[in-house]
Chains A and B, each alone.
Chain A
């Protein structure tokens, strides 16, 4: 056995412990600094990353409507949507919001997770209210007639009889700003399209000279100007009897994100921070009680060996929590449950080893040999038994939704760590002595 291993493990344990609870060092340091007027540096603090259900927050799932976007543009549109919503949520000043697209069969979903936010209602409103900008052109009169007729009979109700989509929408917007009409002086919103948008706009205006082009915001027309001539250069104006304030707000909203894809909230899970705190407190208390019971059991049942079991369990918890903080595992309520459960299961490897050592002792072997054999013979069982639980964790992690993912992650990492602590940490301490 490597003689450096033991000190390394101990040092690593204390580093991990201080990393988990910096106040253990910072508090005495502060006393020292205050008393002797020193200027010793403090240990940097890093918080555990808490999930929505513990920190309070909201988990939103939006359905996206891709029916108007051609297959090959869908990925671009979705990533643009993600970026816009992320900018939008960031404006709200929350910590590390998560915004991502999830594919479900042939649908795409936009998922927004915002933790540690007080006014969830306002956040939902803000995401929902983000404008959807669209340019539409006139339909043929016959088509208009056809739809109107159908609507009289209660059919095709969701279609707009007068205007149809041109494909030019918020996706192609580069920026928007408040402007004034040079002749009338009334406030307008100026738009600048990107390259593709400019080309589209040129084509649309070219084929609609003398006709109306409608600018729709969130599904209703805000301005229906008549096209006088083909417009190149990709600039347009929306004039709609705005006050200066309204025009400015609209420009800001368009800038922050004219949504490139229509979205619809289909699921939300919201937990207030107070309830989350209670969950966390209760989870920690339960874990503490379970831990205590196991320690008592180990010491009573296995005596001296049990002491090493307790030691191994301490290292287990110290390392594991340090690892969670280091890689930023998000702790959810399910995650805490997984962690608590893993404490109970972690001791399994130790018990397997202890029982084996006891059996070997009965063969009248020298103590050192009995211990060595115990570790060796228990290994196949430890490996096989933990691998199957690990399989289940991996499946859970990849297949389930984010709130139960935490469970799989903490339990899975816990299992790996428990095997390490039993086979490396406990062995190091138990064998030499």
Chain B
């Protein structure tokens, strides 16, 4: 009865984590990536090390006042500044080459503010739509289970654990972003949406087992016993699947290109939190919602 017995402790831990995440998000708000806020990103490669102050000089000559410079990998510099036209871009490149002949452009993105607004709207819409579809599907899939917990309550809990997973992952990422200077961009949104799918996937497997066990042994065992049994039965699967998924994401983190670092970090958090919530939170919480006999 381990999982159901300690459900209040698990719930407490989760509430604490959520509050901590909210605090982190307030204290270290995430900076929007240029794909959301509009702006330019120029990645240059140089054989020789470049001085930040010298790069800044080039920008001030072109009357671009604010420029953020970071070295992403050895010899790779990321420059972030306001959105510029193609003519300004070419002027900037030729000035840079004049000053540092060994520099070459690796990547350039310039995104107008209107595109950013659009992407913001689309991402929000995508998130809301995903939640609605998932909730509807779960209510449908569990429509035949109504004793002792109504089918829509499975849906509610699934959605709550989804918020739990997304929020805590986002909180951890905000902490990471604060110290590493990364931003909230469309890749992070994609990662969050993937976590949503994963979180629900994980929770559903446990609930499926609850549904099955309720059908088989509702008359012999208490609801709490059935819940605990279902969790124990699905535990190896939950852990193993998380482990295999972690293998590939960690491989991405170690060997993959730096640009997908934030993506990998968010997914890793999501998998760990998602596994925790589906094992320790989702089914134990069902017992809170049980109808009084």
Contacts and interface: CB of A to CB of B under 8 A. Distances in A.
Interface of A: 61, 63, 104, 121, 124-125, 128, 265-272, 274-275, 278-279, 282-283, 285-287, 289-291, 293-294, 297, 301, 333-334, 337, 340-341, 343-345, 347-348, 351-352, 355, 358-359, 377, 380-381, 384-393, 395-396, 399-401, 403-404, 407, 411
Contact of A286 (B111, B209, B243, B255): B255
Nearest to B40: A268
Contact of A282 (B186, B243, B248, B255): B255
Nearest to A58: B108
- 5 closest A-B pairs by CB: A290-B248, A344-B245, A266-B112, A389-B197, A344-B248
Given A337-B260, A340-B251, A351-B241, A393 B208 contact: no
Nearest to B90: A121
B267 A341 contact: yes
B277 to A, nearest CB: 15
A270 B44 CA distance: 12
A271 B114 contact: no
B46 interface: no
A272 B257 contact: no
B101 interface: no
A144 B243 CA distance: 75
Given A344-B246, A395-B129, A265 B259 contact: no
A294 B86 contact: no
A268 B109 contact: yes
B287 interface: no
Contacts of A274: 106
A278 to B, nearest CB: 7
Interface stretch (B53-61, B169-177, B232-240): B232-240
B143 to A, nearest CB: 13
Interface of B: 43, 85-86, 90, 104-112, 114-115, 118-119, 122-123, 125-126, 129-130, 133-134, 137-138, 141, 186-187, 190, 193-194, 196-198, 200-202, 204-205, 208-209, 212, 233-234, 236-237, 240-241, 243-252, 254-257, 259-260, 263-264, 267
B106 A388 contact: no
A391 B133 contact: yes
A120 to B, nearest CB: 9
Given A283-B256, A287-B248, A291-B248, 14 more contacts: A128-B86, A267-B111, A271-B106, A279-B259, A286-B254, A293-B244, A297-B243, A334-B187, A337-B256, A348-B245, A355-B236, A380-B212, A389-B194, A399-B123
A100 B4 CA distance: 56
A234 B280 CA distance: 79
A351 B237 contact: yes
22 contacts: A268-B110, A286-B255, A287-B248, A290-B247, A293-B244, A293-B247, A294-B248, A340-B248, A341-B252, A343-B248, A344-B247, A351-B244, A355-B236, A380-B208, A389-B194, A389-B200, A391-B134, A396-B190, A399-B123, A400-B126, A400-B186, A401-B122
Contact of A347 (B122, B133, B187, B241): B241
A404 B194 CA distance: 12
Contacts of A266: 111-112, 114-115
A403 B123 CA distance: 14
Nearest to B127: A395
Contacts of B123: 399-400
